[in-house]
Amino acid sequence: MPKRTFSRLPLHLEATITYNGTIVDGDVEDISLQGVFFRTEQQIKPHDSVQVTVYSHSKENQVCQVRARVVRTTPDGVALEFEKNLLD
């Protein structure tokens, strides 16, 4: 596995992934400038393009919304790489 460019920050917030007309609820486990681990039981295929929306404390308070692609799946969720890092 290649070394990460950016450090991960543990972060536990509600989030959704939207792809192929489907909205999947889950939680952000950690985040970096380059990606996020999204905890969910829903299976999403590697390389799928998705939209990630992260909320602060409730779905009424949206923190960010970014495009990403699935780079890895686990039984606990999916690792997503942002199309642009969060500072772009």
pLDDT tens digits for range 19-71: 999 999 999 999 888 999 999 999 899 999 999 999 987 677 888 899 999 99
- Domain coordinates in residue numbering, the chain: 9-82
Q: Is 45 exposed, middle or buried (0-12, 13-18, 19+ CB in 10 A)?
A: exposed
Q: What is the pTM of this model?
A: 0.84
Task: Read off φ and ψ for residue 53, nearest 5 degrees.
Answer: -120, 125
Count of all residues that appear for the chain in the document: 88
Question: Options 3.40.50.720, 2.40.10.220, 3.40.50.300, 2.60.130.10; which CATH number does 9-82 get?
Answer: 2.40.10.220
Quick check: helix, strand or coil at residue 17?
strand
Choose among 38, 19, 20: nearest CA to 28. Answer: 38
Could you tell me the two tokens for 20? Answer: 């192929």
pLDDT band of 84, cuts 50, 70, 90: confident
pLDDT at residue 18 greater than cutoff 90: yes
pLDDT for position 87: 66
